[in-house]
Copies of this chain bind each other. A is one copy, B any other.
Amino acid sequence: MKTLDLKESIGLLLKTSAKTWEKAAEMELSERFGLAGSKWKIIVALSLKEGITQKHIADMVFVEAPTLVPIIDRMEKEGYLTRQADPKDRRNNLIFMTQKSKKIVDPMIDCILEIRNMGLNKISKKDMEIAKKVLTQIVGNTEEFIRQKGENTDPDIWTDLQNKSQKTLVKL
């Protein structure tokens, strides 16, 4: 019976680093701003562009549209944002920030940058560039594979970001 050499498992390493990173962000941002889960990401998304549709936010924070519905419901009740019907296209709900959320954008972004510095401590710029290149290539390879297998990758999100698309994405 064959066996896997786990120290070569890039999948394990990817998962571990993504998960640990997210946990740190989660802890810090929910403690300091009371915004857990996707909430703070939604606010960051809106700080980049207000008055966008729920679908657009979903793309930016990397979840499907239905996932966002109850979250936006709650955030609206809590006074962080408002839904407004789009007069140009009545299918759309346009989402806007309230004063309450606008006030916390700056400290929140500071907080995010702190976390980023902490996570990247003791890593040289040069190595980091290489790591980013490698990860980008991995995403490219894997999306290519998924696409060939039929399953249409949703609008090739990462590549999209690289190309400075107007659809900016949010995730720490």
Contacts and interface: CB of A to CB of B under 8 A. Distances in A.
Contacts of A12: 62, 158, 161, 169-172
A85 interface: no
A103 to B, nearest CB: 10
Given A2-B47, A20-B146, A138-B119, A130 B132 contact: no
Contact of A6 (B136, B139, B169): B169
Nearest to A105: B1
B123 A9 contact: no
B127 A141 contact: no
A126 B27 CA distance: 35
A166 interface: no
Chain A residues touching B, range: 35 or more
Contacts of A10: 21, 116, 119-120, 128, 132, 172
Interface stretch (A68-76, A87-95, A106-114): A106-114
> Could you say which of A21, A106, A112 has the most chain B C-beta atoms within 10 Å of its C-beta?
A21
A152 interface: no
B141 A119 contact: yes
30 contacts: A1-B105, A2-B47, A4-B44, A4-B170, A6-B170, A7-B161, A7-B162, A9-B169, A10-B120, A11-B18, A11-B119, A12-B62, A13-B136, A15-B18, A16-B158, A17-B18, A20-B138, A20-B139, A20-B142, A23-B142, A24-B146, A27-B149, A119-B141, A119-B145, A120-B141, A121-B141, A123-B138, A127-B134, A128-B134, A130-B131
